Each structure stands twice: as C-alpha cells, then as structure tokens.
Structure 1
Amino acid sequence: MRVSRPLRSLPAVVAGTLVLTGCGSDDPSSSSGSASHDEPVETKGDTCAQLREAGATGASFGPVQAALPKDQLVETIQEKLTPLQQSDPAADVTDAWTTAQAYLEQYLAAAQAAPDGGTVTDAALFDPGQEVADAQDTLTDWWFDTCA
C-alpha cells in the first residue's frame, strides 16, 4: 500500500509543477501541496488588491455612523460602497458582500434624497438589523484575516 501512495502523488506533483510553471511562479519554494492551497488565497489576493485600489481599509466594511448631515453621510457611504462596487467578491464572502452592498446602495439613495443639511430618518437604514450587521462583521473579519 505504501508503494501506491507515491505513485498517486506523482501526478499531483507533476500537475502542481505545471500549474506553477504555467502561472509564472517566481517562488522556487512552491510545492504541489502549497499550489492547491495557494489557489483560494490567490483569488482572495486579487480581491484584496482590487479593494485596496478602490480605497478600502479595515473600516470599510463596518457600520455607517448615523445622523450625519447629508453631505457627510453621502461621502461616508460612497467611501464604503465604492470598493464593493469596483471589486470582485471572494467566493467565501459573496453572500455577505451582496448583503452589505445592497444595504449601502439603499442607504446612499436615501441619503441623496434627503434635503440639503438634512439627515436620513429611516431607522431601518441607520439601524439595519442583524443580517446587515452580520454581513459587515463577516467582511471586516475576512478583510483582517485575508487582506490586512
């Protein structure tokens, strides 16, 4: 049985080497074990790079401060929304991403519709509930675990 294990792992080593060679990996320490592990990280890295380019920070996914005047509120929401709109979500946070983005788009529309100098008075927007809070927490945790 020990003889068959190395034979089964040989195709994985060859495939891993081909994948790394095809991707132009400059890391000579890469192995087939890390190649399969690196694929999700590589996707997340792409998302992290996209988010950074769009201006995301560790505070980008948290709640929006309530009762800001219209101009400040619109700016604050746009700072949080723009990275989500300009980036592709990582597969493991797609649901949270969609929830947070939809919430911010709705909040932005309400903020833009507020009278000059006014605020958004819809409690469902400045206190959006557990689903949105969970999505924000998931994205914040993901950011610090993956991108920071």
Structure 2
Amino acid sequence: MRKRKKFMVCVTQQKSCERLIAYGASRITSENDELHVIHVVKENWKYFGKLEETDALEYLFDVSKKHHASLSVMKAKDIETTLATYAEKNKITNIIMGSSKEKDDQQNMINRLQERTRIQVKFEIVPITDEEDIDIIEVESVIMG
C-alpha cells in the first residue's frame, strides 16, 4: 500500500503563488493525498502587504479551492518556526516553496525553514520562471529531518 502524501505549499503575498499551488496540485496522485496551502506573516504586518486585504485573501481562497487545497493564513512572531510546527502537527511529507532570490543563507527563507524542520520531509523548490506550464518545472528536492 502506498504511503499517503501530504503536501504543504508555502505562499507569500505575490500573485505568482498560484503557480506554486498548481504545482502542488499536480503532485497529488491519490485521493488520499492532501494539499495544504499556508501563508504566515509576521505579527503587526498586513497579511498581504500593499494588496487590498480582502481581495488578496479572497484570491488565495479561490485559488486554493480551485485546486482542492485546505488554506491556512496566520500571523506569528517567528514565521519559520510556525511553518515547521504546522508541518510537524499535520504530518507533512513534502514542503513546496518557490526559489529564493536571496543569496545569503541567513536571508534565505528556504534555508531557515530547513534548519527549523525537525521531521523528515522532502523540500521541493520550484524555480522562479516566466513560463506558466508547470509540466516543465524542474524541482530541486532535499530531504531534511
């Protein structure tokens, strides 16, 4: 029997997050698999930066619903720890993130999340691209834990 996979797509306020959610949806191969979309923002910050809060939240909800994903939006003092805790509590097997433009490990969200993740999880890093066809996206996978 195949192990059930639980995908966690980490999104930001950028509208390009639909590409990440669509990629996550493409990884679902069984009706038992799960797709979780999560957006965490620092306390005292707006959830979606300059975007109109209600429009951005509705957009993210609609995209998640379109791809049969559960959506979690939360505020926290420590974004990486919140994401890592969510992954642990929900028994996430794969974390999907967009690649970082940050070259410094201290500034790179992916590196910081990998350092805080205490469970064995496969990181799938989707490169930044202008191409919208998710079938050609190459993904860098790293197993942490």
| TM-score interval, smaller chain | under 0.3
User: TM-score, normalising length from structure 1?
Assistant: 0.27
Which structure: greater helix fraction?
A: 1
Which structure: greater strand fraction?
A: 2
User: TM-score, normalising length from structure 2?
Assistant: 0.28
